[in-house]
Structures are given as C-alpha cells and as structure tokens.
Amino acid sequence: MISRPTRLLVQGLTLAGVVASTVAFASFDKSVDLVVDGQHRNVHAFGDTVQDVLSSEGVQVGGHDIVSPAPATKIHDGSDVVVRYGRQLYVTIDGHERSYWTTALSVDEALTQLGLRADSARLSVSRSLPLGRQALHMDLDTQKSVALVVGGKKAQQLTYASTVGELLAEAKVQPGALDKLSAPLTQPLITGATVTLDRVMQRQVSGVSKVAFATKSTKTDALEKGTTKVTTKGKAGSAKVTYLVTYVNGKLSSKKVLTRVVVTDPVTQVEQVGTKKPTAGPIPAGGGSGLNWAALARCESGGNPRAVNPAGYYGLYQFSLSTWHSVGGAGNPIDASSAEQTARAQALYARGGSGQWGCGSHLYD
C-alpha cells in the first residue's frame, strides 16, 4: 500500500501539471477578428503571426491580394486581420480593351479605385454589381460628338457608340455593297471624328457612237505638189456601245466602256497626193496699185509674209492654196516673195474686189 504522504505528493504533482498545461494553452490560443472581403469572423488561432492565422483558417493569398497587417506581423489576443482578394477586371473603353487588378467589391468602387471617369459614360453592367473572385469583362463607352456624312449630307451627333459600325447601326444607316466608307466598321470611334459614307450606284446604258473612217493616201505626179484629190470619200461607221455608269451621291462619277459592237463598217477615204513640181504662171494684170496693201497685210497677217493660219490660210494676205493657185501661184504663198504675194493679191482684187478679205476695208485706209 502507498502511504498517505506519498499519495498526497503524487496528487499534488498531477494537479500542478494540469494547471501548467492550462496556462500554456491559454497563452497560445488567441482570439482574432478575421475580415475577408468585408466578411467578419472571430477565430481562435494558435500561432504568433498573421500568416499563422491565415494558415490555420485555410486562407490562401496571392500577389494581387492585400493582407493587413503584413503576414509576418506578430499577433496578440484581440488583433484584427484584414484580407482583400484581388479581382481581374477587363474594361473595353471605347473599343480598346484594358486589363486591371482591383480589390474593390463592386463595379462602382472599382471604377473609383482605378480612376476611370465614368460619370457620363455608358456601362454594359450595373454600377452596383458585386465583383466576385472570377474575372469580369465590361464595356465603358464615353459620350462623343461626331459628324456623320451620308450621301453628301452632314449631321452632328452625340453618341455612346464605340466603333464606326455601332454608330451606323445607331443611326439606322446600312452601307450598300458598292458604298464607300471612310473608315472600317471595326475602327474605334473618338470624339471629333468625321465618318463619311458615300452612296455609290452603278447601271449599264447603251448608245450608238461613230466609228471614224481611215484615210489611205497614194502619190501621183498628175497633181502638183501640195494639192490633194479625194477619189473615194470616207464615211464614218456606227457601233453599239454599252457603258458602265457610276454615280456617287447622285452625281456622275465615271463612264466606262464595257462592250463595243460595230453595226456599220466605216468607208476608207482614198486620196491622191500630188508630187509634180509646181510652176508659177504669169501674174495676171491686176489693179488697185494705189490702194493701201500694207494696211491690208497688217490686218490679215501682221505683215508677216510667212504667216500660217491653222485653218488653211497662208502669207501676207492669207491665201488659201486653191485661191493662190487660181491666180497662177505655185506651191505655198509663204515660199513666194512679198512682191509676188502682193502682185497676185492685186490680181485677185481685180477679179473680185476687196470682199475677198475680211480686212478688205483697210485697202481704203
């Protein structure tokens, strides 16, 4: 049997151990207010640091999360530990997507936290929408003042559209297959922009056009050099032509030949060109030697014996070749001397008077 003194000693040692264990338990067990994304819960934790509390509660944090105080901070009974999880937010602003990380708990809070001005913007989600742990995609369209020109008519508009395509849809404007748009439908829209849509219409039209005749020339010594004789008169043909006509905003822009079908063949003109060296005939007796031939020459040719008018008149007095030849002149008047030109002009005057020239009245100056 254990003596009474021995039993009392054993009981005393056991009681001391129980008391010591209770004191040690109390010193490790701490009451902590853990706030995760705004949700409070009171937890009892065994450990010395914030990280110990998080580990004991199974709270895992990453690089985009916020923990306050820092995980290595020592805790005491009654400490507060706050955790805010990071959320990925994809915001498409006027057609441009951007990626953000935020610890905000709602869309409105996130916009404020990220400094995104959205007071007059149109959002694709409610501002009060809570942000969960999963990523959120949203559109933010600012109000813009743009000019829309359709078919040549311009209108100023206030819009939240983020792209050119959305602007046209909002204005109920449908581009046609041939229409020309100044920017792609997917191009982001900015304030101050001008979007132009030209209305293009095409149609086919048919008509009849002339087909020019060719000219065939043969040389002959039966005619004097510088003279030409038509043996077969040319005649234009005809062709049926189909055109593609393009109108832009109601105005003719281009006309393109699609097909040309000859209906009537043209007749080739055949000409004989003289090669015989001309010989000048004697100058017929003229008249008007007392008239002002210098004044007539100044008016007709500027007094230039080699003057040429593209209409077919030559020399001081602007003879046609046929008239020059009719008074005995050879070749071209510009190759004759001034004296001969004047003498033959006097012969012409004697034959028909001053009415032979448009400036004939100057003979009497």
Spell out the CATH class of 202-273.
mainly beta
Quote the pLDDT of residue 223.
Answer: 80
Query: Which of the residue ranges 70-79, 139-148, 284-293 would you say has the lowest mean pLDDT?
Result: 284-293
303: left (phi over 0), alpha (psi -120 to 50) or beta: left
Quote the pLDDT of residue 274.
Answer: 86
Quote the pLDDT of residue 74.
Answer: 94
User: Quick check: 219 pLDDT over 70?
Assistant: yes
What CATH superfamily classification does 27-84 receive? Beta-grasp domain (3.10.20.30)
For 345, phi and psi rounded to 5 degrees?
A: -65, -40
Rounded (5°) CA angle 155-158-161: 105
The answer to whether the CB of 318 falls within 8 A of the CB of 309 is yes
Distance in angstroms (rounded) separating the CA atoms of residues 329 and 96: 88
- Region 335-361 average pLDDT: 92
Quote the pLDDT of residue 140.
Answer: 86
Equal CATH topology for 27-84 and 87-141: yes
Quote the pLDDT of residue 23.
Answer: 39
**CA 26, chain centre distance (Å):** 79
The answer to whether the CB of 99 falls within 8 A of the CB of 135 is no
Q: Please write the tens of the pLDDT for every residue from 107-140.
A: 988 988 888 877 778 888 988 899 988 899 998 8
Bond preceding residue 284 cis, omega within 30 of 0: no
337: left (phi over 0), alpha (psi -120 to 50) or beta: beta
Q: Which two tokens stand for residue 314?
A: 């030559």
Quote the pLDDT of residue 2.
Answer: 52
Q: Where are the domains of the chain?
A: 27-84, 87-141, 144-198, 202-273, 278-364
Query: Which of the residue ranges 95-99, 195-199, 293-297, 331-335 would you say has the lowest mean pLDDT?
Result: 95-99
pTM beyond cutoff 0.85: no
Within 8 A by CB and 6+ apart from 224, the residues are: 274, 276, 277, 278, 325, 330, 331
b/e code 262-297 from CB counts within 10 Å (16+ = b): eeeebeebbbbebeeebeeeebeebebeebebebbb
- Region 229-247 average pLDDT: 95
Distance in angstroms (rounded) separating the CA atoms of residues 187 and 349: 81
- Region 33-42 average pLDDT: 92
User: Quick check: 15 pLDDT over 90?
Assistant: no
What is the rounded (10 degree) CA torsion for 338, 344, 347, 352?
-100
Distance in angstroms (rounded) separating the CA atoms of residues 131 and 64: 15
What is the tally of helices (H) and strands (E) in the chain? 7, 20
CATH for 144-198, among 3.10.20.90, 1.10.275.10, 3.30.1330.30, 3.90.45.10?
3.10.20.90
CATH for 87-141, among 3.30.2310, 3.10.20, 3.30.460, 3.40.91?
3.10.20
How does DSSP classify residue 177? S
Across all residues in the chain, what is the average pLDDT? Answer: 87
Give the architecture (CATH level 2) of 278-364: Orthogonal Bundle (1.10)
